[in-house]
Amino acid sequence: MRSALAIGFAITITTASAAVWAQNAPAPAAPAPAPAMAAAAPAAAPRPTLPACSNPNALGVERIVQIDTTGGPGFGFEHFKAYDFLRDKEVVLTFDDGPWPGNTERVLKALADNCTKALFFPIGKHAGWHPEILKEVAKAGHTIGSHTWSHKDLTKLTPDEAKAEIEKGIAAVSIALGNKPVGPFFRFPALRHPPEMVKYLGTRNIGIFSTDMDSFDFKIHKPDQVIKSVMTKVEKHGKGIILMHDFQHGTSEAIPELLKRLKAGGYKVVQVVGKTPIEPLPEYKEAVLKEMGGGLDEARPMSSVIQTIQGN
């Protein structure tokens, strides 16, 4: 089952129904597309697939939506009203400010135990300090966007400084992942959106994620309070993008129970993936490597470090 729905001029959201990936069965071979679609379908990146799930009570993934971020569309009703792509009882799990030892790993384990997927917005500096954890996030099949280099309020910076914060964040995530492209999604620190930077992200074809439900977990440290905060908002809104922080210890402890509650409440997870990933700009990559000193050297391709200049 595959359907493509064009919404407006800037965005195409393609839905891959996860019903074809039965959660308790071994991963089936990719289903044959309908002949008409096969003829019309353009060459696309390999579609993410869900692994078999051994947990019969897992929250799982209901469907995967692919977003064409051309022009920088925005999502999350706190700031953007154009694209209401979630159905009743559907949620997108988002985690900011990682990667962080212990906390991100606990969140990853809970997501894996539940065979479900999330969207991560790591801070560039944190990615530079803990590239091995960010690689685990990628290996688990989650979507990884970016969240600036050092989490400054971009409304307080000049446009050039703000642009550098955004670009260095993208570059650091790319380097930490082993010089891989980055998911075409960005979240502003503290959800402060300077209009010039919203425009700039449009020119970079990066989608902006605000939120529908802010857990305020950075202010709440007790896991049961984090669960209560999220569930109260989800029940009120009925669906939406949930903002949490894998950086927060309390959240990392709350996630196993929170995912159980979401499942019990009949909520379904939608995974968001980008159609076209983002390449970092070389000058900002260089700036990040310089600023991190030797910290990220291991991530440089060997050919850029060592070259045979004589002999074979």
Where along the sequence are the contacts to Zn ion (CB under 5 A)? 96-97, 189
Give me the residue whose beta carbon is nearest to Zn ion: 96
Give the three-state DSSP class for 186. Answer: strand
Instruction: For residue 278, give the nearest of 170, 151, 175 by alpha carbon.
Output: 170
Q: How far is the CB of 217 from Zn ion (least distance, A)?
A: 11
Q: At what angle do helices 131-139 and 103-113 cross, to 10 degrees?
A: 10
Report CA-CA distances (Å) from 179 to 125, 182, 185, 278, 289: 15, 9, 17, 11, 12
Of the pair 21, 129, the CB lying nearest Zn ion is at 129
Question: What single-letter DSSP state applies at residue 87?
Answer: P
Of the pair 60, 124, the CB lying nearest Zn ion is at 124
Q: How far is the CB of 97 from Zn ion (least distance, A)?
A: 4
Instruction: For residue 288, give the nearest of 201, 164, 155, 178 by alpha carbon.
Output: 164
Q: 């154009």: which residue's tokens?
A: 82
Of the pair 13, 154, the CB lying nearest Zn ion is at 154
Q: How far is the CB of 147 from Zn ion (least distance, A)?
A: 5
262: left (phi over 0), alpha (psi -120 to 50) or beta: alpha
Element (H, E) at 120: strand 119-121
Of the pair 21, 186, the CB lying nearest Zn ion is at 186
Of the pair 74, 189, the CB lying nearest Zn ion is at 189
Give the three-state DSSP class for 1. Answer: coil
Q: How far is the CB of 125 from Zn ion (least distance, A)?
A: 12
Of the pair 69, 146, the CB lying nearest Zn ion is at 146
Q: How far is the CB of 139 from Zn ion (least distance, A)?
A: 23
Q: Measure CA of the first residue to CA of the last residue in the chain; give whole Å.
A: 53
Q: How far is the CB of 129 from Zn ion (least distance, A)?
A: 16
